[in-house]
Amino acid sequence: MCLHYKLYFIVVFFVVYSEAQGPIVTIDDGQILGSTQKSVGNGGTFYAFKGIPYAKPPVRNLRFQAPYKNDPWQGVLDATKEKDKCVQTAGILGLTIAGSEDCLHLNVYTTNVTGNNPVMVWIFGGGFSIGGSEYSSYAPDFLMDRNIVFVSLNYRLGAFGFLSTGDLNCPGNWGLKDQLLALKWVKDNIEAFGGDPEKITIAGQSAGSASVSYILQNPQSKGLYRSAIMQSGSSLCLWSLTRTAREIAFAIGARLGIFTTDSGELIRKLRKVDYQRLKRAENDVYYVAIAVDNIFNGIPMGPVVEPEHEGAFFTQKSHEMLRTGQFNKVPVLMGLNSNEAKSFLGLFIDVLKPLFTRYDINIARLAPYDLTRNSTKRILAGTEIKHHYFGEDPIVTRPSANIIKFISHEQFNRPIRETVHQMSKYVDVYYYEFGYRGSLGEFESDFAGVGHYEEIFYQFANKANANDEDKSARTIFLELWSNFIKYVNPTPKSFEGATWIPNSPKNQNKDVVYLSINTTLAMRQNPDQEDWEFYQKIYDKYGDPPFSTY
Ligand SMILES: *[C@@H]1O[C@H](CO)[C@@H](O)[C@H](O)[C@H]1NC(C)=O
Ligand SMILES: *[C@@H]1O[C@H](CO)[C@@H](O)[C@H](O)[C@H]1NC(C)=O
Ligand SMILES: *[C@@H]1O[C@H](CO)[C@@H](O)[C@H](O)[C@H]1NC(C)=O
């Protein structure tokens, strides 16, 4: 093994001319050449292996199918360069199409290819429609400083990742199935990069976090990780489930001139459509769905409850799965930022505010989607919710800050606290709120708090202009996260004066506790308690369980 390693290194040294030549690693599929980088954190050396395939390119007949393991390759795979993102729109107006269908690869970063270090697998967010695993988006330098092996993976997005006809011709969840295959790859291969296969943490943000949540509820993933991190997303968030997938699939077909009511025919024909045309048709349908429908119905293209069959990713209602303990029992670290919706609405609220008139006109739309299908109850619940958050006057006349707060609570705070509440009956859940409002946030506006995605700028090394306070927030964040990855406990000893206490099966009747992460750390209790109690009453009075989202 050692001799092999040296031999290949010498061979490749003469074959490939690359400035920052890295080591060669051998896995069952073949040899992989990495590159050497210097951490922008402590200046230490680490190795990057970019664009390693974990599946066959999902093209032609493999489009809208679960991923297949790739074939081994001959010779040395050049993993020194970034490969394509999955197909998505790009540009300010979303008019250009970036990426390619041949995108099922992952990246491994490590400080020691012969080490035995804990591993973090990162699933990026972007509403199941955009994003990628590339270094320029998720630079793991600060994790390298702490000797963690970092894996970031690609999964199919938009129609390519989530088109579903709601039947066995195209059951959907292709992107989640990609993630599962990538996790198997990590378990099987990470030792070759100096990772400990017994110490894998899966982690994600936003749609990536909701993905982690779904992975935990998938029995086939049991044993592939020992702990999980969920940042600003859960399967109980309204936006993490698509309910209109079949209509959307046929609408995309119609947009492309495929007029049929036969889902088999639809899928056969959609497999032949050029990927750019397909993406454009999806966009048209997506934006119409959002404009005509409303944001309280979930997203038009994302995870779906599949019909029962072998290979289904999930077939049951998520809230019911969590409530009844049907998930893989590993410790969880999860939470959110202090004002999530600020990032989506902060800059545009004046333009978007008039749209809220539709909720004054149709007040039932304010009731949580899954609460009940009974329209009388929806009106009663919607009326109480309107009163609780906005008083008697029309919503559009209320301060923008109220609307942003409501959207934060509706889309993040309540479903995430409910996730903590249900999961902590069975496993330890370390719950946090990130409230540090530093200089790196990208969506700055007049509104208080920290918006969606802002913690990413402290977690990863994508921004250079951190001031001293930002750097200190970054250190706090990274120490907590990397302790959890190393020891399954974010504060094995007291840190910055705080010990992070989990919500645990042992202290069920107590208050919900969370760590407030800011310039200082403090344990606090019962976030948004007044709103929480209000919604408990709404669910008691009007709820018709079981629920998917909450
Ligand atoms: C890499 O890990 C191995 C095994 O733990 C250890 O012996 C070696 O010293 C490490 N190398 C470096 C550069 O830290
Ligand atoms: C809907 O809820 C109302 C109020 O609780 C109830 O009177 C009515 O019977 C329900 N309707 C249906 C169809 O269940
Ligand atoms: C974070 O700290 C700042 C400065 O002390 C404070 O203004 C802010 O309210 C805190 N955020 C949270 C969510 O507690």
Whether 278 is in a domain gets the answer yes
Which ligand 3 atom sits closest to the C-alpha of 448?
A: 9
Q: What residues flank ligand 1, with Cβ below 6 Å?
A: 112, 114-116
Q: How many residues does the chain have?
A: 550
**Pairing of the two strands 429-434 and 513-517:** parallel
Whether 242 is in a domain gets the answer yes
pTM comes to 0.95
Whether 376 is in a domain gets the answer no
Whether 157 is in a domain gets the answer yes
User: Domain range for residue 21?
Assistant: 2-330
Whether 440 is in a domain gets the answer no
Give the residues across from 25 on adjacent strands: 32
Distance 455 CA to ligand 3 centre (A): 14
Distance 111 CA to ligand 1 centre (A): 9
**Mean pLDDT split into 10-residue runs, the chain, 550 residues:** 41 43 94 97 97 98 98 97 96 85 98 98 97 98 98 98 98 98 98 98 98 98 98 98 96 98 98 97 89 79 97 98 98 97 86 88 94 98 97 93 93 98 98 96 83 96 93 97 98 96 88 96 97 98 98
- Measuring from atom 12 of ligand 2, which residue has the nearest CA? 374
DSSP letters of 483-507? HHHHHS-S-SS-BTTB--PPB-GGG
Which ligand 2 atom sits closest to the C-alpha of 374?
A: 1
Compute the half-sphere exposure of residue 57: CA atoms within 13 Å on the CB side of its CA.
Answer: 13
Could you read off the pLDDT of 262-316 as tens digits, one per residue? 999 999 999 999 999 999 999 999 988 877 776 788 889 999 999 999 999 999 9
Distance 375 CA to ligand 2 centre (A): 8
- Measuring from atom 8 of ligand 3, which residue has the nearest CA? 435
Distance of CA 42 to CAs 147, 163, 302, 325, 388, Å? Answer: 12, 44, 39, 42, 50
Compute the half-sphere exposure of residue 383: CA atoms within 13 Å on the CB side of its CA.
Answer: 7
Query: Using alpha carbons only, what angle is made at residue 369 by residues 367 and 370, rounded to the nearest 5 degrees?
Result: 110
Whether 273 is in a domain gets the answer yes
Whether 119 is in a domain gets the answer yes
**pLDDT at residue number 275:** 98
Distance 548 CA to ligand 2 centre (A): 21
Nearest ligand for residue 377 CA: 2
The residue whose CB lies within 8 Å of the most ligand 3 atoms, and thus the one to mutate among 437, 447, 523, is: 437
Whether 181 is in a domain gets the answer yes
CB atoms within 10 A of CB 136: 8
Count of the separate structural domains present in the chain: 1
* Among the listed residues 336, 519, 522, the one whose alpha carbon sits nearest the alpha carbon of residue 432: 336
Distance 338 CA to ligand 3 centre (A): 9
- Measuring from atom 7 of ligand 2, which residue has the nearest CA? 376
Cβ of 528 less than 6 Å from ligand 3: no
- What CATH number does residue 239 fall under? 3.40.50.1820
DSSP 3-state assignment of 51?
strand
The residue whose CB lies within 8 Å of the most ligand 2 atoms, and thus the one to mutate among 372, 375, 377, is: 377
